[in-house]
């Protein structure tokens, strides 16, 4: 009887230890996935030329812009076209952000409360473009059931307490082998999906494999979507630190 109890205790301890290792492994996997998504288009430094097409039921317009980044903390965006928006610029350093409006020659500091507002009338927010918030630092995350889609991993991300994020949760779907994102779904505080971003046109850029196209669809605005296409993308290039300065906002070209 004693041997039977000892066996049962040892068996339960073994199951507990196995589960601890399984949970630790899935936590580590989830961390790797969200870190990869945060850094998908960033490195020590990066440069990109981007085309953004904004579509509504009544009009359509396309912007071209260049983007420089340094790590996760610095971003500079300058619009090249169309003519009426040319030289409009955005700078983000740490948790501070400024926009330059060339028509009135004015620099406006964007308050934290405006980070979730639309950038240039698109379906992307200020935060989407400059990444003030990251999955790794500002969300709790875990791998959840993939609902039978064996080629995908689903990661549930919930904002940490005290972080000013409007989404109640974000669900990520990534390729099981490469961790390349497939889609992201954003939920409001009622648990409804309010927008979805999909990734496509995967290409190798140097040592990285990244999607070159993103499509953001606000599900409660019929006929609206914004498409971002990467026309050029370079990582770990030498950048002049003066790029990330308020003075450079007014550096009209």
How confident is the model over 8-53, as pLDDT tens digits?
554 444 444 333 333 345 689 999 999 999 999 998 999 999 999 9
Is there a domain that residue 17 lies in? Answer: no
Domain extent, residue 48, equals: 34-249
Residue-wise pLDDT for 142-153, tens only, equals 999 888 888 999
Mean pLDDT, residues 169-187 taken together: 96
Is there a domain that residue 139 lies in? Answer: yes
pLDDT at 17: 36
pLDDT at 150: 87
- pLDDT of 192 strictly over 80: yes
Is there a domain that residue 220 lies in? Answer: yes
What tokens were used for 36? Answer: 């990869």
pLDDT at 23: 39
Mean pLDDT, residues 233-246 taken together: 95
Where residue 3 falls among pLDDT bands split at 50, 70, 90?
low
Is there a domain that residue 186 lies in? Answer: yes
pLDDT at 16: 43
Is there a domain that residue 193 lies in? Answer: yes
Query: Between 150 and 212, where is the model more confident?
Result: 212
Full-model pTM: 0.85
Contacts of 134 (CB under 8 A, 6+ apart): 34, 38, 72
Q: What is the CATH number of the domain that holds 135?
A: 2.50.20.10
Residue-wise pLDDT for 63-100, tens only, equals 999 999 999 999 999 999 999 999 999 999 988 999 99
Is there a domain that residue 4 lies in? Answer: no
Domain count, the chain: 1
Is there a domain that residue 75 lies in? Answer: yes
Is there a domain that residue 3 lies in? Answer: no
What is the total residue count of the chain? 253
């Amino acid at each position: 009887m004693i041997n039977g109890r000892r066996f049962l205790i040892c068996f339960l301890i073994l199951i507990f230890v196995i589960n601890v290792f399984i949970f630790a492994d899935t936590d580590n996997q989830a961390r790797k996935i969200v870190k990869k998504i945060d850094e998908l288009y960033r490195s020590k430094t990066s440069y990109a030329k981007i085309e953004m097409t904004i579509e509504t039921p009544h009009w359509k317009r396309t912007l071209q812009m260049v983007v420089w980044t340094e790590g996760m903390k610095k971003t500079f965006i300058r619009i090249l076209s169309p003519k009426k928006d040319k030289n409009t610029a955005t700078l983000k350093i740490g948790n501070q952000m400024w926009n330059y409006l060339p028509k009135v020659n004015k620099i406006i500091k964007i308050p934290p409360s405006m980070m979730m507002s639309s950038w240039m009338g698109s379906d992307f927010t200020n935060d989407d473009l400059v990444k003030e918030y990251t999955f790794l630092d500002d969300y709790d995350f875990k791998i959840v059931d993939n609902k039978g889609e064996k080629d995908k991993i689903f990661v549930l991300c919930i904002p940490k307490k005290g972080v000013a994020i409007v989404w109640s949760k974000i669900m990520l779907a990534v390729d099981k082998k490469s961790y390349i994102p497939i889609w992201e779904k954003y939920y409001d505080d009622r648990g409804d999906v309010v927008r979805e971003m999909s990734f496509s046109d995967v290409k190798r850029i140097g040592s990285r494999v990244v999607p070159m196209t993103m499509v953001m669809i606000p599900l409660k605005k019929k006929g609206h979507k914004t498409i971002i296409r990467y026309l050029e993308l370079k990582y770990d290039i030498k950048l002049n630190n003066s790029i990330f300065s308020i003075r450079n906002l007014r550096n009209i070209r």
